[in-house]
């Protein structure tokens, strides 16, 4: 009680290093990105000075068919994988809350895919999905199904990448929802039992509403990460064939580090950032409403 003022000073000193590092590494790029997005500057021709171009990068962006195709890939991918992962994860989490033998070992094994380096995961699946030596085509041939060039065909490439993401991230949904299910209070369930509620009624009117915070957290994190997908696509299809698997992040990479068109890339990055901030805000509003 004696040294309130001193404590307050100490409190700020303790957060200072973290705030300083994060401040420099996030606020600087953010400011410079906004500045660059209004300028023309090619890193491949650094001797030509930056020139102010106003909003022309943004008008170009809205007419850029590759930008719209990247948007379409990103959102088709995002909506599909997050939905499937959620329902599959919820299904498996509900199964694992039942009296299952060896539950802790099963839980541990489910944990593994999501911890692995996405690059390694991409390469592992590239091998499995390979049209000639891949084991998936072998399994298909055993049950007399035609073999496919999963990652090389325009019709299946995005689906194959979705499968890889579902493989890696469904476990995350399982574990978060399982943690949510296990922390639910028991009283409402006992009350429902006494009132003679059916299993479906209990699930629909008690489990789901109580599980809502865990569901929103799981969806928020998955949405943020699916939106930024890069590594897996980089090592499996590199956006191909014919850009059918090129999401926003890869399009940004290509413009910045293959074409060195830094001004345009900055404009693109800014739009990409604004979209995910808007989506996250939506989730946070939903969470706040529940509280």
Partner 1 sequence: MRHIKSKTNWFNVITYIVIALFLFFFIFPIFWVISTSLKTRVQTFSIPPVWIFKPTLQSYKTIFSEILFSHYLINSTIIAILNTILVVFIGSLAAYSIARFKTGGTNLSFWILSIRMVPPIVVTVPLFIAFDKLRMIDNHLTLILLYTTFNLPLAIWMMRAFFMEIPEELEESAMIDGCSRMQALWKIVFPLARPGIAATAILCFIFAWNEFLFALIFTRIVAKTAPLALTSLMTEREIYWGRICAGATIVILPVIIFSLIVQKHIVRGLTFGAMK
Nearest to 125, CA basis, from 90, 94, 150, 145:
150
Find the shortest distance in angstroms from Cβ 204 to partner 1: 20
47 to 76: interface string for partner 1, x by CB under 8 A: ------------------------------
Placement of tokens 């698997």 in the chain: 245
Q: Is 110 in the site for partner 1 (CB under 8 A)?
A: yes
177 to 196: interface string for partner 1, x by CB under 8 A: --xx--x-------------
Encoded tokens for 230? 């890069």
Nearer Cβ to partner 1 (109/208): 109
Question: What sign for the dihedral angle of Cα 135, 141, 143, 149?
Answer: positive
Contacting range for partner 1; rule: CB under 8 A; set: 23-31, 58-66, 78-86, 201-209: 23-31
Nearest to 220, CA basis, from 290, 270, 133:
290
Find the shortest distance in angstroms from Cβ 83 to partner 1: 18
Q: Which of 14, 79, 145, 191 binds partner 1 (CB under 8 A)?
A: 14
Contact 122, 234 (CB under 8 A): yes
The footprint of partner 1 on residues 216-245 (CB under 8 A) is 217-218, 221, 224, 227-228, 230-231, 234-235
Which spans in the chain are helix H? 4-37, 56-63, 65-97, 103-115, 118-128, 135-142, 157-182, 187-194, 199-202, 208-227, 231-236, 248-257, 262-290
Q: Is 167 in the site for partner 1 (CB under 8 A)?
A: yes
Find the shortest distance in angstroms from Cβ 150 to partner 1: 14
């Amino acid at each position: 009680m004696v040294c309130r003022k001193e404590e307050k000073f100490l409190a700020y000193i303790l957060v200072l290093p973290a705030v300083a590092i994060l401040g420099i590494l996030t606020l600087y790029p953010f400011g410079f990105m906004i500045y660059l997005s209004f300028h023309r500057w090619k890193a491949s021709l650094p001797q030509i000075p930056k020139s102010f171009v106003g909003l022309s990068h943004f008008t170009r962006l809205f007419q850029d068919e590759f930008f719209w195709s990247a948007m379409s890939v990103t959102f088709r991918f995002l909506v599909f994988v997050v939905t499937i992962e959620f329902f599959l994860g919820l299904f498996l989490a509900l199964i694992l809350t039942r009296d299952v033998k060896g539950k802790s070992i099963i839980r541990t094994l489910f944990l593994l895919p999501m911890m692995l380096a996405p690059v390694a995961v991409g390469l592992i699946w590239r091998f499995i999905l390979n049209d000639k030596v891949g084991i998936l085509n072998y399994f298909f041939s055993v049950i007399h199904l035609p073999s496919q060039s999963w990652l090389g065909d325009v019709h299946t490439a995005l689906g194959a990448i979705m499968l890889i993401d579902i493989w890696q991230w469904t476990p995350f949904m399982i574990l978060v929802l399982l943690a949510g299910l296990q922390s639910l209070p028991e009283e409402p369930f006992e009350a429902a039992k006494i009132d003679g509620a059916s299993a479906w009624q209990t699930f629909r009117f008690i489990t789901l509403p109580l599980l809502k915070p865990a569901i929103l957290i799981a969806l928020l994190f998955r949405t943020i990460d699916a939106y930024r997908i890069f590594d897996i696509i980089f090592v499996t299809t590199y956006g191909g064939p014919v850009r059918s698997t090129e999401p926003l992040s890869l399009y940004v990479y290509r413009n910045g580090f293959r074409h060195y068109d830094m001004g345009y890339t900055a404009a693109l990055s800014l739009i990409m950032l604004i979209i995910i901030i808007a989506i996250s805000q939506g989730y946070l509003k939903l969470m706040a409403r529940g509280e």
